Amino acid sequence: EKVFLIFFFVNALLIGALYALHLAPTLQQPVVDGVFWISFVLMFVVHAITCCSDPGKVPTEGKPHKLYRKALELAASGRIDEAEEIGALCHTCRIARPLRSKHCQVLKTCVSCFDHNCPYVHNTVGARNYRSFVVFMLFGWIAISAALYGTGHHLLTTVSRDGWARRDGWFVALLADLCMCELFAVLMNSYHFNLIARNLTTNEHMHLTRYVYLRDDLGRFNNAFSRGVCANLVEFCRRGRLTSDNPYYYSELFASSRKARVAGGDGVALGGMKTSLLGGSEDAA
């Protein structure tokens, strides 16, 4: 399960070594060198932070557990509708699971704003480390772009000036590796910045039709959490703090948005919360 993590370290360190030993001495471009080394080092720093940080585990004591017990008591007394209004239950963690959270099979606990399990950082990505994960990808893309420019520049100048040399085979291999890394980095950064702009998680985007809170009463996609690109970007930066201070931040935000639409006379309300909640369905997450 650590194959991707090992691959990342081996590939990144190999690129760094080739750049330092063979590329930097011939490139003689301080700006490119500076951009590469600063982003290269910061990439590893932020990678370590993402790898070692808490992704946003939902507490199993306090309010989450009290709501869980309350839901079971209401259901036992036959007040099913009131019990379902509390939200989805996680019987493994014994909590009422907040909206946008999901039980992580790797960490064996519920994670706020669960995004995905990333093998490259060997950790689950959630509310509290999603920001560092995105910054890690951004620095990685900058470092790859600088190395790609340096490698291409070296091959174009030295081969045209001195002809083909055996050592240039290393640079061709490096160029091929960097091209694949660049493509992957561009796709990943584009995808996640698109999610940030729309205020969605990877998990939500992959299961848009599963989660009732992302649909209106007609079954159409409706994201109550998206309030425009700028506001979504600010919330992305504050997501970890918001859910740490209040695990039910998004549950309460959704409830207030739903009430506002109903009070405003909107003909189509946001999706209801009632599903097979007492069974711990992921559909209501």
Cα–Cα distance, 7 to 118 (Å, whole number): 13
Cα–Cα distance, 190 to 113 (Å, whole number): 20
Q: What angle do CA 71, 76, 81 make, to 5 degrees?
A: 55
- Looking at residue 235, its amino acid is E
- For 231, residues 6+ apart whose C-beta sits below 8 A from its C-beta are none
- Looking at residue 196, its amino acid is I
Residue 118 is among the residues annotated as catalytic for this protein = yes
CA 165 to chain centre: 44
Locate 263 and state its tokens: 């009070």
Locate 228 and state its tokens: 């425009």
Cβ atoms 51, 122 nearer than 8 A:
yes
User: Among 110, 118, 179, 230, which one carries the catalytic annotation?
Assistant: 118
Catalytic residues: 118
